[in-house]
Amino acid sequence: MASEVLLPKQGNTVESCIILEWKKAEGDVVAAGEPIVEVETDKATFDVESTVDGVLLSKLVGEGDDVPVLSPIAVIGEPGEKPATAPAPATNRAPAPSERASVRPTAAGVPGGRTERSERDGGPAISPRARRFADQNGIALASLTGSGPNGRIMVQDVQSVIDGAGSGANAPQPTTVVPAAGGAPSYDEIPVKGIRKVIAERMHASLTSTAQFTMNTGADARGLLEYRARLKASAPPGLQSISINDLVMFTVSRALPGFPAMNATFSNGVIRRYGSVNLGFAVDTKRGLMVPVIREANQLTLAQLAAEAHRLAEACKTMKAGPEDLSGGTFSVTNLGAFGIQSFTPVLDAPQVGILGIGTIEPRPIMVDRGMAFVPTLSLSLTIDHQAVDGAPAARFLKDLAGRIAEINLTLAQ
């Protein structure tokens, strides 16, 4: 008997996924547990596996479609089998009247995904989202070649023309806009989509829903640099790769339990203070900014914390991080010191009430025995949500953190 494969739910916050690439074609034999399609959430990519043994009878959605979780995406059964009823096509947007979906038969005779065929211009089958995207960008449907099931035109086919990546019928179209007059410079238009769109929406939501307030200080970094040099010179191989950032995150994990107001979230008029430190840290990836979470960081040794940070960062960079790796943070750290940034204003990862920005280490003057000396100093910038945390307790936390960094040997011994 034919079985539907549902798009699995990926965490509590993921409502839909974009279909990236089908790994199996209709008619292919598949085994239970074998990946059949790669999908993308707003945070990561993952494979959806077949739930049964059989033959892939039908793909109910195409590459580029944005599909709600728990929706059917494929039908698997015996060769030549036809389901008794047609599965409802999965979509994340109801089509406009001019985009009414028609059910098209697949090679196996099983109804497929939502499709629209342009009778007016004799064009091929096209998904409603692709048609709308093409219309918005002035792309002629007749010039498109579909890469979806049975030649269906998908969103990425339109995008390939916009990006100048098409060939043949999908001849490259210029994306640079040259003004007709006035001497203004030319420019490129880049649609904001995917993870870039998610980042834009979250940053805007963070700034509009919180009362962000930033304070800056510096921490004596002589102890950090000396300890890091000792590790690099004589520590076992597993410890030689521990970075300044690892040491700072370790120190943050030890300081936060003493300041519960900082290890908290604020949402819907409720402040939640947490007993464990789930420490988020910013990772720069090709897809954009990602913030994996080191769970119960306050219970980990330095070596354990550094190893987990490395694992999570690598998972983000290779697009293997799952929703469980990217959620549940209670406080975050972001480091721009490697770029020579002296100080900056980190943006809260709402609903968290605090985020620490780490800048570069540079010499700063301090008073020593009625004189002045230059000491390597680590720049620290703390942003808080002033709705949930007042300036004084936040300042006390920042002062304590700076002191712990300056006395890193004592911090590590605790």
Q: What is the mean pLDDT of residues 95-104?
A: 32
Position 275 scores a pLDDT of 94
Q: What is the pLDDT of residue 172?
A: 39
Specify whether 205 is located in the same domain as 99: no
Q: Which residue has the higher pLDDT, 294 or 125?
A: 294
* Rounded Cα–Cα distance for residues 412 and 300 (Å): 11
The overall average pLDDT reported for the chain is: 81
Place of tokens 């959806």: 48
Query: Is the pLDDT confidence value at 410 over 80?
Result: yes
Is 186 a member of any domain? no
In a domain, 181, yes or no: no
CA distances from 267 to 3, 14, 83, 388 (A): 41, 18, 46, 10
Q: Which band of pLDDT confidence, cut at 50, 70 and 90, is reported for residue 163? A: low
Q: Is the dihedral of CA 342, 277, 289, 93 positive or negative?
A: negative
> Which DSSP helix (H) or strand (E) runs through 48?
strand 45-49
Same domain, 402 and 272: yes
> Does 273 share its domain with 363?
yes
| Model confidence pLDDT, tens digit, residues 255-293 | 999 999 999 999 989 999 999 999 999 999 887 888 999
365 occurs within a structural domain? yes
Please state whether 299 falls in left (phi above 0), alpha (psi between -120 and 50) or beta. alpha
Based on the number of CB atoms within 10 Å of its own CB, is 94 exposed (0-12), middle (13-18) or buried (19 or more)?
exposed
The predicted-structure confidence for 134-150, as pLDDT tens digits, reads as follows 776 777 777 787 766 55
- The CA radius of gyration of the chain, in Å to the nearest whole number, is 27
Q: Answer yes or no: is 285 within a domain.
A: yes
Residue 14 lies in a domain: yes
Pairwise pLDDT comparison (172 vs 204), residue with the higher score? 204
- 255 with 387, same domain: the answer is yes
55-64 confidence digits (pLDDT tens): 999 899 988 7
Q: How confident is the model at residue 197 (pLDDT cuts 50, 70, 90)?
A: confident
299 and 362 both lie in a single domain: yes
Mean pLDDT for 47-73 is 89
Task: Answer for the pair 394, 215: CB distance below 8 angstroms, yes or no.
Answer: yes
Q: Which is more confidently placed, 200 or 258?
A: 258
Same domain, 395 and 258: yes
How far is 276 from 358, CA to CA, in rounded Å?
22
Residue 41 lies inside a defined structural domain of this protein: yes
Torsion angle defined by CA atoms of residues 356, 358, 364 and 365, in that order, rounded to the nearest 10 degrees:
20
The last residue of a domain, from among 110, 145, 175? 175
SS3 for 238-267 is HHHCCCHHHHHHHHHHHHHHHCCCCCEEEE
Joined together, the tokens standing for residue 81 give: 């089998």
Quote the pLDDT of residue 95: 36
Give me the domain span that covers residue 256: 195-413
Task: Encode pLDDT of 280-329 as tens digits.
Answer: 999 998 878 889 999 999 999 999 999 999 999 999 988 788 878 988 99
Instruction: With respect to residue 398, please indicate whether it lies within any of the assigned structural domains.
Output: yes
Mean pLDDT of 151-156: 70
Question: Domain end: 142, 175, 208, which one?
Answer: 175
> 9: pLDDT confidence band, cut at 50, 70 and 90?
confident
pLDDT for the residue 156: 67
Where does the pLDDT of residue 22 fall: very low under 50, low under 70, confident under 90, or very high at 90 and above?
A: very high
What residues act catalytically?
Answer: 386, 390
pLDDT of residue 344: 95
Please tell me the predicted confidence (pLDDT) of residue 189. Answer: 78
Task: Please give the single-letter amino acid code of residue 403.
Answer: G
Of 5, 99, 93, the residue nearest 49 (C-alpha): 5
The answer on 147 and 64 residing in a single domain is yes
Q: How many CB atoms lie within 10 A of CB 100?
A: 10
Residue 367 predicted with pLDDT over 70: yes
The pLDDT score that the predictor gives to residue 11 is 65
Domain identity same for 158 and 239: no
Residue 223 scores a pLDDT above 90? yes
Least confident stretch, 78-87, 95-104, 351-360, 376-385: 95-104
- The domain that holds 336 is classified in CATH as 3.30.559.10
Percentage, residues of the chain above pLDDT 90: 49
- How far is it between the farthest Cα atoms of the chain? 90
For residue 112, pLDDT beyond 60: no
Q: Is the confidence at residue 127, as pLDDT, over 70?
A: no
What are 10's two structure tokens?
């990926």
Q: Considering only residues 140 and 111, tell me which one the structure prediction assigns the higher pLDDT.
A: 140
- Angle between helices 244-255 and 222-234 in degrees, nearest 10: 120
Are residues 166 and 292 located together in one domain of the fold? no
Residues 281, 157, single domain; the answer is no
Preceding omega of 79 cis (within 30 degrees of 0): no
Lowest-confidence pick of 116-130, 184-198, 334-348: 116-130
Token digits of residue 284: 């720069």
Residue 85 has pLDDT above 60, yes or no: no
Q: Is 183 part of any domain?
A: no
159 pLDDT higher than 80 = no
Q: Once rounded to an integer, what is the mean pLDDT over residues 31-50?
A: 84
Predicted confidence band of residue 247 (pLDDT cuts 50, 70, 90): very high
Q: How many domains does the chain have?
A: 2
Cα 113 from Cα 91, distance rounded (Å): 9
pLDDT for 245 beyond 90:
yes
Residue 30 is part of a domain; what is its CATH number?
2.40.50.100
Q: Which residues of 276-286 are buried (b: 16+ CB within 10 A; e: fewer)?
A: bbbbbbbbbee
Give the pLDDT confidence score for residue 42 in this predicted structure: 63
Same domain, 209 and 147: no
Predicted confidence (pLDDT) at residue 175 exceeds the cutoff of 50: no
Last residue of a domain, one of 175, 210, 228: 175
Does residue 11 sit in the same domain as residue 160?
Answer: yes
Say if residues 17 and 43 touch (Cβ distance below 8 Å). no
